[in-house]
């Protein structure tokens, strides 16, 4: 056993570093050509890299101050792109993959609806087949990047007479199609445009934009939500990035606030948890490299990481005292030192409640862990086997039931 | 970088687990009113000796197996999982003290006896406050005219003291805390059994009166950090195993126990509690493996990693054992069930080397020092 990361003079590291020196501001197209966007994908898209090489590449990009492509275009790189590799037609792969991975076309993920969040299978948006195209009608919610995206991965109901999960299909939709209306939703962080409502009024989508087969929608969606590419070695607090507990401790020490015994104990508690999260990531990485079946640490890590990140930001915010409540602290009569080390964490704090919601809530994640890993009895969904268009009809009204 | 258990590790783990599953019998302790004297210490130790476990931490040069900290942590995890009542912890602690502070002659004399004959040891360093790492001791050492050292006083909360054949005793000599070897059968030694709540473990105060002690050359300030790091790892490894057992037992129970027409494991508060317990178990185990590895690195890494493992394990084990009793319902609160043995071991492991907050303070100081010295 050996917990040392690939050394500073690891030849693979030196190779990446040399390339970055020769191409100091590479741009996403060049990064993609070099295989650094999705190194873990097979050629020609990636390098067929093992997790350790992937870690090295991530590390070196971060060290060179390059914003990783998956921040720019998370949907195809983290979640949906691999579906095209596995289930897309050659024409679809040809048309969509390169522009997505080179970040020329941004994608968004059209899953959630007003009546279907955790229960994605309850969605009502329909896709009706008419000859060589489908007609889409319905409303999506919380769609991150919808306003910036050229392509949307849409889940819609193609067969309302099938049970809720069986009648769904996925499409690659042109977000500029006539009939699509996008409205920003302002979130509590005060930054509008983080996500959007998207309305579909009889939007025409050509039949060759169907991903996989009709009825595959649920299966594809579940795969996509699970294939999230994790930031491998960072002790990072929020979705694998964002400030870490190490940085929190450094900041508190630098600001002289680490002497306060209450802050100190809490901060070290978070430091410990951050270290363990980093080690859990290395453990899954190592298991994958040794072709071992990986244990439950992947799901566990996500479950621990989200509230951990919130607590890191919370302590940082509390350490700012009352001044931390002012949005524009530049107006306060404070020196830079008094302002403290966490000034640029402000937005992350006000945004952090989202971390236990997005990509599935903490509660739903715990259900999944308890059921899949520990084998506890599954949650009962009384509508699971009912044809979707019969749900609600055969059931007693609330009054009758009472 | 390689974080996975090797083939050898898993073979060792499985062998230890199989052996302990067959041999550990907690039934005598599940009789109401049972105490640690009923724990089958001697019988189990004899069997462990046949397997050569006392030789684990003894270097090959002294007839031992010279196993790594990772191997030792793997075995201790299995011991913690089964709550195996044995003097293994005391003997390991004594062995580590001999290695850290003993002279070559002392090592050559005693280590082969540990390795080959299963000589039982215990580490007695705490004053009445119970602080094993304290700068002082309640035992005084004096140099006699014949050149021998004589010890008088008391050492407290000594794990595995009853039956120990060789004790490492901390005593004050000329104002400094030092370590001495004292034979268990020597004149002037009295072992006062404690009604230690964790009855899977035998603990005593040791009173010495003019007993002969053999001074170890290693000084306290440089010996204790090494020793403390290993002890932190040992307790955390035991706790990791205990957590796994509690998780497994509780998971099995909630699949069977039915209430309101469903297995209670179908209810979400139970599910979420077990998901948390699983997370804590995985986190503890990960921290333990890292701490074990860290001991082969520099002292700072070892200190941070070991204190981190022990601090995290203490709180996770406490939470899990408490939750487990709750999930079993009232049956889990009875003496006849194993739940309380784990609950009590969790408490004992969390206190014996000081609280989790104290380990966090140790980490805080280590981080501050690192901050003060630019790297
Ligand atoms: C920042 C952000 C970005 C997002 N981006 C996107 C995006 O790009 N595309 C997209 O499609 N969606 C996106 N979402 C939506 C996100 O996936 C949903 O918010 C999430 O799945 C939860 O659904 P909901 O908000 O409807 O809450 P609900 O499902 O209504 O849940 C409400 C509460 O009920 C609980 N609950 C629900 N079911 C259960 C259960 N079975 N057991 C226990 N508790 C339960 C939940 O945990 C929660 O506490 C985003 C959300 C956020 C916050």
The pLDDT of residue A235 is above 60: no
Whether A313 and A243 have beta carbons less than 8 Å apart is answered as yes
Cβ–Cβ below 8 Å for B271 and A366: yes
Three-state secondary structure call for residue B128: coil
CB of B368 within 8 Å of a chain A CB? The answer is yes
**Beta strand A151-157 with A107-110: parallel, antiparallel or unpaired?**
parallel
Ligand 1 atom showing the smallest separation from residue A108 Cα: 8
Arithmetic mean of pLDDT, B171-186: 97
Distance of alpha carbon B148 from alpha carbon B141, whole angstroms? 10
Best mutation target, A370, A378, A381, A382, to test chain B (most B CBs within 10 A): A370
Nearest CA in chain A to B248: A374
Whether B14 and B78 have beta carbons less than 8 Å apart is answered as no
Q: Could you tell me if the CB of A367 is within 6 A of ligand 1?
A: yes
Distance of alpha carbon A144 from alpha carbon A5, whole angstroms? 34
The yes-or-no answer on residue A191 being catalytic is no
CB of A213 within 8 Å of a chain B CB? The answer is no
Distance of alpha carbon B122 from alpha carbon B160, whole angstroms? 6
Nearest CA in chain A to B289: A1
Three-class SS of chain A: CECCCCCCCCHHHHHHHHHHHHCCCCHHHHHHHHCCCCCCCCCCCCCCCCHHHHHHHHHHHHHCCCCCHHHHCHHHHHHHHHHHHHHCCHHHHHHHHHHHHCCCCCEEEECCECCECCCHHHCCCEEEEECCEEEEEEEEEEEECCCCCCEEEEEEECCCCCECCCCEEEEEEECCCCCEEEEEECCCCCCCCCEEEEEEEEEEEEHHHEECCCCCHHHHHHHHHHCCCCCCCCCEEECCEEEEHHHHHHHHHHCCCCCCHHHHHHHHHHHHHHHHHHHHHHHHHHHHHCCCCCCCHHHHHHHHHHHHHHHHHHHHHHCCHHHHHCCCHHHCCCCHHHHCCCHHHHHHHHHHHHHHCCCCCHHHHHHHHHHHHCCCCCCCCCCCCCEHHHCCCCCCCHHHHC
Cβ–Cβ below 8 Å for B3 and A300: no
How much distance in Å is there from the Cα of A120 to the middle of ligand 1?
Answer: 9
CATH number of B121-218: 2.40.110.20
Whether B171 and B127 have beta carbons less than 8 Å apart is answered as no
Give the burial string for A280-307 (b: 16+ CB within 10 Å, else e): bbbbbbbbbbeeeeebbbbbbbbbbbbb
* Gyration radius of chain B over CA positions: 21
Distance of alpha carbon B293 from alpha carbon B114, whole angstroms? 24
CA A388 to each of CA A161, A167, A168: distance values in angstroms, whole numbers, following the listed order: 6, 8, 10
* Per-residue pLDDT, B372: 77
Helices H / strands E in chain B, number of each: 10, 9
* Average confidence score pLDDT of chain A: 89
Ligand 1 atom showing the smallest separation from residue A119 Cα: 29
Chain B residues close to A272, C-beta within 8 Å: 287, 308, 311-312, 360, 363
Whether B337 and B304 have beta carbons less than 8 Å apart is answered as no
Beta bridge partners of B189: B208
CB of B271 within 8 Å of a chain A CB? The answer is yes
Arithmetic mean of pLDDT, A94-108: 97
Domain span(s) for CATH 1.20.140.10 in chain B: 223-372
Task: Give the DSSP H or E segment for B310.
Answer: helix B299-328
Residue closest to A34 by CA, chosen among A52, A56, A19: A19
* Per-residue pLDDT, A240: 56
Q: Could you tell me if the CB of A118 is within 6 A of ligand 1?
A: yes
CA A255 to each of CA A275, A348, B374: distance values in angstroms, whole numbers, following the listed order: 22, 20, 16
Arithmetic mean of pLDDT, B93-111: 98
Nearest CA in chain A to B69: A1
Q: Could you tell me if the CB of A144 is within 6 A of ligand 1?
A: yes
Best substitution site from A107, A112, A156, A187 to test ligand 1's pocket, by max atoms within 8 Å of Cβ?
A112
Minimal CA separation from A120 to chain B, in Å: 20
The pLDDT of residue A102 is above 70: yes
The pLDDT of residue B21 is above 80: yes
Indicate the pTM of the whole model.
Answer: 0.94
* Per-residue pLDDT, A236: 55
Distance of alpha carbon B220 from alpha carbon B235, whole angstroms? 21
Confidence of residue A402 (pLDDT cuts 50, 70, 90): very low
Whether B291 and B308 have beta carbons less than 8 Å apart is answered as yes
Beta bridge partners of A173: A152
CA A376 to each of CA A179, A294, A354, B49, B245: distance values in angstroms, whole numbers, following the listed order: 45, 20, 28, 40, 17
Chain A residues close to B69, C-beta within 8 Å: none
* Gyration radius of chain A over CA positions: 23
Q: Could you tell me if the CB of A111 is within 6 A of ligand 1?
A: yes
Whether B61 and B16 have beta carbons less than 8 Å apart is answered as no
Best substitution site from A361, A363, A366 to test ligand 1's pocket, by max atoms within 8 Å of Cβ?
A361
Residue closest to A279 by CA, chosen among A295, A259, A301: A301
Best mutation target, B248, B279, B310, to test chain A (most A CBs within 10 A): B279
* Average confidence score pLDDT of chain B: 96
Q: Could you tell me if the CB of A112 is within 6 A of ligand 1?
A: yes
DSSP state of B126: B
The pLDDT of residue A399 is above 60: no
Cβ–Cβ below 8 Å for A367 and B70: no
Arithmetic mean of pLDDT, B118-123: 98
Chain A residues close to B251, C-beta within 8 Å: 374-376
* Per-residue pLDDT, A360: 85
Written as one string, the DSSP assignment of B145-201 is TTS-EEEEEEEEEEET-TT-SEEEEEEEETTEEEEEEEETTSTTEEEEE---S-TTS
The pLDDT of residue A125 is above 50: yes
Domain B7-117 in CATH 1.10.540.10? yes
Distance of alpha carbon B314 from alpha carbon B157, whole angstroms? 18
Residue among A271, A272, A369 whose CB faces B275 most closely: A369
Question: Could you read off the pLDDT of A130-152 as tens digits, one per residue?
Answer: 999 999 999 999 999 999 999 99
Q: Which of A52, A197, A228, A297 is catalytic?
A: A228
How much distance in Å is there from the Cα of A305 to the middle of ligand 1?
Answer: 17
Cβ–Cβ below 8 Å for B363 and A370: no
Whether B288 and B218 have beta carbons less than 8 Å apart is answered as no
The pLDDT of residue A336 is above 80: no
**Beta strand B258-259 with B121-124: parallel, antiparallel or unpaired?**
unpaired
- ∠ CA A227-A231-A236, rounded to 5°: 130
* Per-residue pLDDT, B77: 98
Question: Could you read off the pLDDT of B220-275 as tens digits, one per residue?
Answer: 999 999 999 999 999 999 999 999 999 999 999 999 999 999 999 999 999 999 99
Residue written as token pair 């508060």: B269
Question: Could you read off the pLDDT of A286-302 as tens digits, one per residue?
Answer: 777 776 666 666 778 88
Arithmetic mean of pLDDT, A307-336: 88
Domain span(s) for CATH 2.40.110.20 in chain B: 121-218
Q: What count of Cα atoms within 13 Å lies in the side-chain half-sphere of residue A7? A: 4
Cβ–Cβ below 8 Å for A297 and B286: yes
- Residue with CA at minimum distance from ligand 1 atom 52: A358
- A379 vs A123, residue with greater confidence: A123
Confidence of residue A2 (pLDDT cuts 50, 70, 90): confident
Cβ–Cβ below 8 Å for A283 and B3: yes
Whether B80 and B20 have beta carbons less than 8 Å apart is answered as no
Tokens of B343: 């609950």
Q: CB-based contacts of B27: which residues, under 8 Å, 6+ apart?
A: none
- ∠ CA B60-B62-B65, rounded to 5°: 35
Written as one string, the DSSP assignment of B212-256 is EEEE-SS-HHHHHHHHHHHHHHHHHHHHHHHHHHHHHHHHHHHHH
Arithmetic mean of pLDDT, B304-332: 98
Question: Could you read off the pLDDT of B234-247 as tens digits, one per residue?
Answer: 999 999 999 999 99
Cβ–Cβ below 8 Å for A367 and B268: yes
* Per-residue pLDDT, A238: 59
How much distance in Å is there from the Cα of A119 to the middle of ligand 1?
Answer: 8
Tokens of A111: 């899953």
CATH number of B223-372: 1.20.140.10
Residue among A6, A268, A280 whose CB faces B286 most closely: A280
Distance of alpha carbon B25 from alpha carbon A113, whole angstroms? 57
Arithmetic mean of pLDDT, B103-120: 98
Q: Could you tell me if the CB of A94 is within 6 A of ligand 1?
A: no
The pLDDT of residue A174 is above 80: yes
Cβ–Cβ below 8 Å for B1 and A304: no
Cβ–Cβ below 8 Å for B361 and A374: no
CB of B257 within 8 Å of a chain A CB? The answer is no
Terminal-to-terminal C-alpha distance of chain A:
61
ipTM of the complex model: 0.94
* Per-residue pLDDT, A299: 76
Cβ–Cβ below 8 Å for A300 and B279: yes
Q: CB-based contacts of B58: which residues, under 8 Å, 6+ apart?
A: B64, B65, B66, B95, B111, B112, B114, B115
Residue written as token pair 């990446």: A16
Distance of alpha carbon B39 from alpha carbon B29, whole angstroms? 7
- Which of A 363-382 lie inside 8 A of B, CB atoms? 363, 366-367, 369-371, 373-380
Question: Could you read off the pLDDT of B326-349 as tens digits, one per residue?
Answer: 999 999 999 999 999 999 999 999
Nearest CA in chain B to A246: B367
């Amino acid at each position: 056993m050996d917990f040392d990361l690939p050394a500073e003079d690891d030849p693979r590291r030196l190779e990446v570093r040399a390339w970055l020196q020769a191409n100091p501001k590479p741009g996403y197209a060049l990064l993609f050509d070099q295989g650094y966007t999705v190194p873990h994908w097979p050629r020609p898209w990636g390098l067929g890299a093992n997790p350790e090489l992937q870690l090295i590449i991530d590390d070196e990009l971060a060290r060179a101050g390059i914003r990783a492509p998956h921040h720019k275009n998370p949907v195809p790189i983290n979640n949906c792109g691999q579906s095209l590799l596995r289930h897309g037609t050659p024409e679809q792969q040809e048309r969509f993959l390169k522009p997505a991975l080179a970040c020329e076309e941004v994608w968004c993920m059209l899953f959630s609806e007003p009546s279907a969040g955790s229960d994605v299978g309850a969605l009502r948006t329909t896709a009706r087949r008419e000859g060589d195209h489908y007609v889409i009608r319905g409303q999506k919610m919380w769609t991150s990047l919808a306003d910036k995206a050229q392509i949307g991965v849409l889940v819609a109901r193609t067969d309302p007479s099938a049970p809720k999960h069986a009648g769904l299909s996925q499409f690659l939709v042109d977000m500029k199609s006539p009939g699509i209306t996008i409205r920003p939703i302002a979130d509590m962080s005060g930054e509008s445009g983080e996500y959007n409502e998207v309305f579909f009024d009889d939007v025409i989508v050509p039949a060759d934009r169907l991903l996989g087969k009709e009825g595959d929608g649920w299966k594809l969606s579940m795969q996509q939500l699970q294939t999230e590419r994790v930031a491998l070695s960072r002790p990072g607090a929020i979705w694998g990035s964002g400030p870490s507990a190490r940085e929190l401790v450094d900041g508190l020490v630098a600001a002289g606030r680490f002497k306060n015994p209450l802050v100190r104990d809490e901060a070290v508690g978070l430091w410990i948890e951050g270290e363990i999260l980093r080690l859990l990531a290395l453990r899954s990485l190592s298991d994958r490299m040794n072709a071992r079946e990986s244990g439950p640490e992947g799901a566990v890590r996500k479950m621990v990481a989200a509230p951990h990140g919130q607590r890191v930001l919370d302590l940082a915010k509390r350490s700012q005292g009352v001044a931390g409540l002012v949005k524009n602290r530049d107006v306060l009569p404070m020196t830079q030192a008094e302002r403290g080390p966490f000034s640029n964490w402000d937005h992350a704090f006000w945004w952090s409640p989202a971390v236990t919601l997005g990509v599935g809530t903490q509660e739903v994640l715990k259900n999944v862990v308890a059921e899949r890993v520990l084998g506890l009895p599954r949650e009962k969904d009384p509508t699971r086997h009912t044809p979707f268009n019969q749900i609600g009809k055969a059931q007693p009204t609330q009054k009758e039931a009472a | 970088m390689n974080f996975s258990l090797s083939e050898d590790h898993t073979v060792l783990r499985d062998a230890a687990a199989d052996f302990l599953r067959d041999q550990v019998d907690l039934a005598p302790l599940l009789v109401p009113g049972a105490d640690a004297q009923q724990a089958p210490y001697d019988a189990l130790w004899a069997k462990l000796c046949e397997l050569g476990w006392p030789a684990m931490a003894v270097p090959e040069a002294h007839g031992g197996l010279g196993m790594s900290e990772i191997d030792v942590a793997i075995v201790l995890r299995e011991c913690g999982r089964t709550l195996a009542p044995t003097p293994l912890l005391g003997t390991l602690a004594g062995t580590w003290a001999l290695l850290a502070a003993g002279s070559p002659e002392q090592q050559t004399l005693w280590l082969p006896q540990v390795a080959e004959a299963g000589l039982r040891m215990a580490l007695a360093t705490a004053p009445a406050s119970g602080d094993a790492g304290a700068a002082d001791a309640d035992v005084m050492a004096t140099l006699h005219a014949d050149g021998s050292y004589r010890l008088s006083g008391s050492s407290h909360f000594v794990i595995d003291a009853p039956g120990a054949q060789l004790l490492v005793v901390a005593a004050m000599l000329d104002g400094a805390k030092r370590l001495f070897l004292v034979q268990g059968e020597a004149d002037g030694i009295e072992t006062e059994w404690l009604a230690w709540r964790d009855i899977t473990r035998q603990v005593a105060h040791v009173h010495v009166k003019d007993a002969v002690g053999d001074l170890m050359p290693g000084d306290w300030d440089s010996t204790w950090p090494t020793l403390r790091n290993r002890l932190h790892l040992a307790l955390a490894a035991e706790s990791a195993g205990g957590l796994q057992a509690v998780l497994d037992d509780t998971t099995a129970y909630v699949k069977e126990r039915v209430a309101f027409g469903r297995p209670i494991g179908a209810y979400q508060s139970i599910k979420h509690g077990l998901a948390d317990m699983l997370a804590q178990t995985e986190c503890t185990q990960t921290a333990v493996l890292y701490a074990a590895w860290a001991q082969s690195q520099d002292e700072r890494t070892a200190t941070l990693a070991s204190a981190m493992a022990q601090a995290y394990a203490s709180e996770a084990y406490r939470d899990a054992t408490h939750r487990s009793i709750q999930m079993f319902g009232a049956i889990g609160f009875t003496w006849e069930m194993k739940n309380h043995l784990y609950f009590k071991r969790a408490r004992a492991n969390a206190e014996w080397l000081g609280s989790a907050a104290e380990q966090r303070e140790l980490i805080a100081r280590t981080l501050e020092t690192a901050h003060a010295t630019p790297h």
